A and B are shown apart, each in its own frame.
Chain A
Amino acid sequence: MTLSETQGLLYDLITAPRGVAVGLGARGLTEGDLSAVVRSDARLSAVDRVDIYANMYFYRILDVLREEYPRTLAAVGEAAFHDLITDYLLVHRPAHASLREVGAALPIFLAAQASTFGRPWLFELARLERAHLELFDGPDAHPLTILDLRSMAVDPTELAALAVQLVPSHVLVTNAFTLSPVWQLAETRPGSPVFAGVPSLLPEVLLVWRQGLVVRHRAVTDAAEARALERAVPGTTIGALCETLAAPVSEAGEAADAARAFQRLAAWTDDGLLSRAEGPTAR
């Protein structure tokens, strides 16, 4: 048997979803055939020995995904999560050198499986967990501080023309469900059944970002802020953002709108959300 044939056989058997013995049968092979490839002894048969690797393959991945998706796990329960990952690995076999990427497609997979669990919000919960994970070790940035802005405010024209963008480690997530109750339940009472806090079918937009080394998220409830967040891409300026944030609200008046815009901008800098634009100067 060539090296390639040996590796092909073992890969198939170790990753066979219903175990090595069944996988062997599926290839039309017997235990005797495997013993001609893998040594057996009085302690362990060839199937037993391959089975050790099969268990390690699955449980290593399961353990990683349990850590990466603790709330999704709590929502479906241990047994269902085990079955979910079994099914997931049949469709999304690991193909990246980093174990961190094994679970990258779980939210998408859940989107197709939601009816199985009767919880259509599960996909959104998993997607939010994945966003936290990806931003945890996403690109670094040098966020602007409130002192930076104050020092430039000496010349308002210069401040307004400052090209900015949101820090790269951020994402806006639009959900059909309001996830906060289930997220907080799992955070404050780990181990509690998350599905006890069923989210309501009310859409929400979440801003997820990394402040320093900590990943946070919060709901974006203000329409002007939502628009400003979408526009805070390379090419915008402080002035343009202020205009968006100062969009009139009822009869509050221009001064109140401007004050609100500056408050919001200050909050963004406090949160470490804004940085100078990278690349060509924005206009």
Chain B
Amino acid sequence: MSDHFPHIGHGIGLRPPHFEAVLQDATGIDWVEVITENFMVAGGNPRAVLRQIRARMPVVLHGVSLSLGSVDPLDIAYLDRLATLAREIEPAWISDHLCWSSFGGHTAHDLWPLPFTEEALAHVVTRVAAVQERLGRRILVENVSSYLQFVDSALTEWEFLAELCARTDCGVLLDVNNVFVSAHNHGFSARSFVEGIPVGRVGQIHLAGHRDDGTHLLDTHDHPVCDGVWDLYQTAVARFGDVPTVIERDDAIPPLAELVAESRKAAAIAAQGASGARSADYPCIRFETGAAGPTT
């Protein structure tokens, strides 16, 4: 089982509007994170682009459908498709969310929060262990933005995550924006969250923007990273070091240069705040040509 999450620098979440631009000029982008499900297809442009990108830089597969906290059975067919994609793309790592998104055989296509109870913890531990076993590698589990908390919760979210890591040896994809949003929505200390995650467990960090809806913050990924999230990021890198960081944008997607500028800002903050940047060294893949037909 692959036992580490390599330091591969700083990157962006790659979305279709930027496919062409990244293929033309990837200056300033050390690696990209892609939404796994968008590439679990037979062929065509998505797979062609992914292969071209992977031939040039590391790629991380970030899923939204593992539904790690659901009481539904694990979707084995999904896991097998993921494993097949991973064999082809050789991602630096695979990640998904600490949430549930399916019930009764139906899928919500959203990231719903869990009650932080011993029962839920034991359940998620079993499933993360099963996923890691099936994929033959450790995964990163991301904290989600949330808009509700459960009365029954006996643990904080960071205690839950720390215990999950301890019991399964998984890592954490720390979404700093999600910490910021959830802390605001539930009135807990964002700094306490960051300080509650064990040093050495964080393999990746997410940065993104959100919207203020008055009564709550909504994790919309449609704005630049705000000052409060940058401040919290400084706190995070001071604790966890220069962790590979991605800028996410899913709506109101700006020109690539704006995302790259945010990514370089993250790299600068991480280099300053951490005790020393680690070097990026991750091999690219040479694919057989022609399998995907013409490439744009």
Residues of A near any B CB (own CB < 8 A): 1-4, 6-8, 10-11, 14-15, 35-39, 41, 43-44, 46, 48-50, 52-53, 56-57, 60-61, 93-100, 102, 135-143, 169, 210, 212-213
> Please, how many angstroms separate the alpha-carbon atoms of A41 and B115 in the complex?
17
In angstroms, Cα B108 to Cα A10, docked, is 11
Can you report 21 residue pairs joining A to B where beta carbons are below 8 Å apart?
A7-B100, A8-B104, A10-B112, A14-B108, A14-B110, A37-B151, A38-B148, A38-B151, A39-B150, A60-B109, A60-B110, A93-B106, A97-B65, A98-B65, A136-B45, A137-B43, A139-B42, A140-B42, A140-B44, A140-B47, A142-B290
Within 8 Å of chain A (Cβ to Cβ): is B107? Answer: yes
Q: Chain B: interface secondary structure? A: loop
Contacts of A39 in B (CB 8 A): 148-151, 186
**Contact string against A for B residues 24-49, beta-carbon threshold 8 Å, 1 for contact and 0 otherwise:** 00000000000001101111111110
Q: Is the CB of A4 within 8 A of B45?
A: no
Which residue of B45, B100, B114 is within 8 Å of A213 (Cβ)? Answer: B45
Q: Residue B234 at the A interface, CB < 8 A?
A: no
In the assembled complex, the Cα of A194 lies from the Cα of B206 at a distance in Å of 42
Q: Are A38 and B149 in contact (CB under 8 A)?
A: yes
Q: B187 contacts the other chain (Cβ, under 8 Å)?
A: yes
Which 9 A/B pairs are nearest by Cβ-Cβ distance? A140-B43, A137-B41, A97-B65, A137-B44, A49-B148, A11-B103, A139-B42, A52-B147, A212-B294
| Contact (Cβ within 8 A) A48 B119 | no
From A1, which residue of chain B is reached at the shortest CB distance? B152
Known A37-B151, A49-B148, A93-B106; contact A44-B216, beta-carbon cutoff 8 A: yes
Q: Which residues of B contact A94 (CB under 8 A)?
A: 106-109
Contact of A210 among B44, B78, B105 (CB under 8 A): B44
Bound-state Cα–Cα, A53 to B187, Å: 19
Contacts of B41 in A (CB 8 A): 100, 137-138
Q: Which of these, B120, B149, B294, contacts A3 with CB under 8 Å? A: B120
Q: Is B18 an interface residue (CB 8 A)?
A: no
- C-alpha spacing A140/B108, complex, angstroms: 30
Residues of B within 8 A of A213 (CB): 44-45, 48, 293-296
Residues of B within 8 A of A (CB): 37-38, 40-48, 65, 70-71, 75, 78, 100, 103-110, 112, 114-115, 117, 119-120, 123, 147-152, 186-187, 215-216, 218, 290-296
B291 touches A140 (CB 8 A): yes
Q: Determine the residue in chain B with the shortest Cβ distance to A14.
A: B108
Complex contacts, B150 vs chain A, CB 8 Å: 6, 37-39
Q: Which of B106, B108, B112 lies at the interface centre, i.e. has the most chain A CB atoms within 10 A of its CB?
A: B108
**A2–B150 alpha-carbon span in the complex (Å):** 12
Known pairs A6-B115, A52-B147, A140-B44; A95 contacts B107 (CB<8 A):
yes
A53 interface neighbour in B37, B45, B112, B295, Cβ under 8 Å: B112
The answer on a CB contact under 8 Å between B44 and A169 is yes
- Docked complex Cα distance between A61 and B104 (Å): 19
Q: Give the CA-CA distance A138 to B120 in the complex, in Å.
A: 38
**Pairwise interchain contact A140-B293, C-beta atoms closer than 8 A:** yes
